[in-house]
Amino acid sequence: MPTPLPSHRKPRRRPPGGWVTGPRESSAWRAGLAGTIIVHLLLMWLAPRMGGAFRHGELALRPDDAPRVQEFDIEIATLPPPPPDTYVDANPDAPDNPPDETDKFSDRNQQLAQEVAAEELGDMPSTEGEDDIESTSIVSGDDAAPTPPAVLIPPAPDATATDEAPEELPALAQDPLSGFEAISGEAEEGIGTNVVELPENPQADIDEPIEGVTDPEQASETGRGIYYRPNPDRPAPRPNLARSQTKPAIFSNRVTGTDNIGVVAHEALRTTFGDYFARMLEVIRLGWSHDIRSKIERRLGFPLDGSRVLVWFTLHQDGTVTIDKVEGNAGPLWNGVAVEAVAAPARLSDGYGEWEQEMVTILGDQTPIRLAFYYQ
């Protein structure tokens, strides 16, 4: 009979108090099962409440601990349109008419118009000029003195306001035209002479002389004859053909225009910096023209006809400038004349003048500018 192999299992040691028998093992199993059931029931009862709290971002289970939701009233406003950024020369004789919308500014409110409608539409009036010149000028003059304001004649006193009748003005003295004396020689084909003696107060459509005053301003309206005297009951500006002061300018050759018929004008909005730039450009132009005349009179030379100088500079809010760049084909002397026209006024005590707050709000503390000087 084979000998059994020795077993390596060690015999179980008896715990103190002896082995646990069947009744104690049975009660522990039942207690564990009951605890598991109770925990599952509690989870099933709490699950809906905890899920709702987590969905609303609440970490506490009690309503009193939940944070209050803060409400905000948000109102979205439309942004204002950007300010116009292109300066144009306005026509001083065009009526003041603010445009509805434009990207151009000047020292006057104007709406785009021209005397004859253009076939091709654009954003500036049609002008005939040079092809290689960039100019916004639409009118040109000779620096004539501006027309003084017309003086309106005050209305005549109301006769019904007083008991006295208005004084009747005398008639204007008038004399009928006399005939003429024909002086001729004996030859039928000779040249004769007509002698006419003009009266002191000639009038063609009367037969008898009329006595009165010789000054037409002192005569009544009904008796003034061929003389004009304004009616004091209808004040009117004094008639004249003079127009506003306009500076000499050159035009660009621009075919496109507008179909609005009227006095030629840009679509431009008057702004505070439009007024400022107009004054600044006039100072630059006058200084440039004076320097040109001075150098020609001193026989320093003549600028090349058709030459151009471009000056880039920065205008600061205190009225000073910084020259940034210069390009030109007029030669060193005349390029320098253009630069000096910009820089010289800025070296004065107040420069071109300190900006108003509106300019600072829109432009900041400085703005870049490019000017073109044309020698024609």
- Name the maximum alpha-carbon separation found in the chain: 201
Amino acid identity of 90? Answer: A
The two beta strands, 193-196 and 180-183, are antiparallel
Evaluate the CA torsion angle 337, 341, 342, 347 in order and state its sign. Answer: positive
Measured distance CA(108)–CA(85) in Å, rounded: 15
pLDDT tens-digit profile, the chain (376 residues): 444 544 445 555 665 655 555 555 556 667 777 777 777 777 777 666 665 555 555 444 455 555 666 777 777 766 667 778 788 888 888 888 888 888 898 888 999 998 889 888 988 999 888 888 888 888 887 765 555 544 444 555 554 555 555 556 666 677 676 665 666 666 666 656 666 566 666 665 666 777 776 665 555 545 544 444 455 555 555 544 444 567 778 888 888 889 889 889 999 989 888 899 999 999 999 999 999 999 999 988 888 888 999 999 999 999 999 999 999 999 999 999 999 999 999 998 888 999 998 889 888 899 999 999 999 8
Q: Tell which residue, 372, 368, 371, has the closest CA to residue 314.
A: 368
Which position has the token pair 């730039």?
A: 277
Count of C-beta atoms within a 10 Å radius of residue 31: 9
pLDDT at 37: 77
The two beta strands, 366-375 and 307-316, are antiparallel
Q: Tell which residue, 68, 106, 71, 103, has the closest CA to residue 87.
A: 106
pTM for this one?
Answer: 0.54
Q: Is residue 266 within a helix (H) or strand (E), and if so which, with residue range?
A: none
Q: Is residue 360 within a helix (H) or strand (E), and if so which, with residue range?
A: helix 357-363
pLDDT at 60: 46
Count of C-beta atoms within a 10 Å radius of residue 138: 24
pLDDT at 190: 61
What does the H/E/C string look like for 36-96? HHHHHHHHHHHHHHHHHHHHCCCCCCCHHHCCCCCCCCCCCCCCCCCCCCEECCCCCCCCC
> Long-range contacts of range 215-220, CB-CB < 8 Å, 24 or more positions apart?
216/172, 218/169, 218/170, 219/169, 219/170, 219/171, 219/172, 220/168, 220/169, 220/170, 220/171, 220/172
pLDDT at 15: 58
Tokens representing 333 are 């002397």
Q: Judge whether 330 and 348 are in contact, CB under 8 Å.
A: no
Amino acid identity of 279? Answer: R
Helix, strand, coil abundance in the chain, percent, nearest 5: 25, 15, 60
17 Cβ partners below 8 Å, 6+ apart?
none
Q: Judge whether 251 and 140 are in contact, CB under 8 Å.
A: yes
Which position has the token pair 């005050």?
A: 154
The two beta strands, 321-328 and 307-316, are antiparallel
